[in-house]
Structure 1
Amino acid sequence: MQHTVKQLFAASLIALASAAQAATITVEPGETQQGLTLIGGNAVLSFSTSLVTALNVGKVVFTELAPASVDEIFTSRPPFGSVRTGVTADAPLSFMTVNDVTGDVLAAGSQGGAILTIAPLAGVSTGGSVTVANLSVDLTQKRVYADLTGNFSGVDGAAATTLQHFYLWDYASLTGPTNVQVGAGSYTNVISGLKITQEGLANFSAALGLVELGLSTIQGVSDYGTITSTIVAQGTLVMPEVPEPGTWAMMGLGLVGVAVAARRRRAA
């Protein structure tokens, strides 16, 4: 297929412009990138009522994994005494990835998490534990990843180990600001409708040793809860310098020259 120099030049400009627009920056707390300083923030994972009820069936015990903290809510339910009705894990922000042109937040992560432990219970579990830590949210794919630690030997392809950046949940919706182009401030949004992946459910169930009643109960949970995240930033995101038209032209002509030279060598 033959291409004119004009076509090659136009294609080069398009490729260069696309590359510039696709740039991202990742900022950790205390760092400054392009004029924007990430002061800090946190992410609060709130388990849904149905998930808490399912975990109550197995008498699951929660332990916080620093630097995150775990808070359990107990409600009086006579004649049964106090019943656990809520669980939240509050973890500090660990990073934020931003499109350096638009200011859109593309991903964010937190540090620490919770350890879930269950003792052997007839018809429910043979006993086990699973650690859910270091959540990271991909706002583009609407996915939530986590580091899972447990005995996954009952799942094909898995082992008793830590699964890093494991695709654990999808989420249904996000409300609140997700753009830091406006500058300094505190940005809070809510991710709701957490739905566990099939692989996530398999690993979760294996690590907790769930059987019969335990399995059927956890399989009946369609919504795992919400994640409320807050990002505190300072300064104003400075857009990267865009080359002058003449610079784009020089870069484009350089690429065209390379392409023409390559075509001549093939023709020789």
Structure 2
Amino acid sequence: MNLNLIKLQIVELLNKHKKITAVADELGLKQPTVTYHLKNLEQQLGGKLFESRMDKMILTESGRAFLHYAVKINALAAEAERVVKEFSNAGRGTLKIGASYVPATYILPRILSQFGEQHSGVTISLSVKPSPMIKEMLVSHEIDLGILSTESFYLPNLHNQALCEDELVLVFAPSHEFAVLSELSPLVIASANFILHEKESSTRQMTDKWFEQCTLQPKAPILLDSLEAIKQSLLSGKHVSFISKLAVEDEVARGILMMRTIPDYNFHRHIFYSYNRDRHYSPLIGLFIDLLRTIRL
């Protein structure tokens, strides 16, 4: 069976765009050519991969199963091409990095700047996603390196190494009633109006664990998917939140926010770097990791 790359690219792009015309435009092919390759692939596999619904092409159950492998193969093929180009273009290349929000915002900017000065011929692409998604991107070979804030984890194909601790702290404004209290118990904290992070974030997952451990529920929670929006909302003095200590050190130093240790907090989260052991460990990955290790976080 001839599963050439163009057919696999069509499957991945059609799932993304949902229209054959858009796939044809991106690949520089004519629409009938795309349709031919798709039908030929379905004939080879002996099953439908897509079905038409409301003028959109939607994956079938078997199509979703096939897409999982198509994405991996496409990523590996792109990586193989890139690796060969790296060897023929010394000091040049592309490095794909995925990072969760805290390291992407509060750690990576200075590192990316320094790396760019040292290796001006290298192009870096950065995808900012929640930690669980960064792990998925590493497993599926979509990125070279992940920088993520999470509890310790194990996945068979991933190598990961802790860079520094990423402690969660209770954060509120100096005008909040908590500012004058010398001691904050879990029950007192749970009585405050809470701002919660998005469900996919590791901060939200650890916040939920703390409430569950203390057999408490957050009061009148507000859900926000932006850490900067959460910090701005805290300035009013009406809410509290659990936030990465790294993310609020500047505001605390300036006196516009306060932070306290979370009582009965028995979890440990770190900033990790991680890469797929099955992916080519290029010189660029090694150079970036070396820089990560030398900078005090």
TM-score bucket of the superposed structures, by smaller chain:
under 0.3
Structure number with the higher strand fraction is 1
Structure number with the higher helix fraction is 2
Larger Rg computed on CA atoms = 1
- TM normalised by structure 2 equals 0.23
- TM normalised by structure 1 equals 0.24
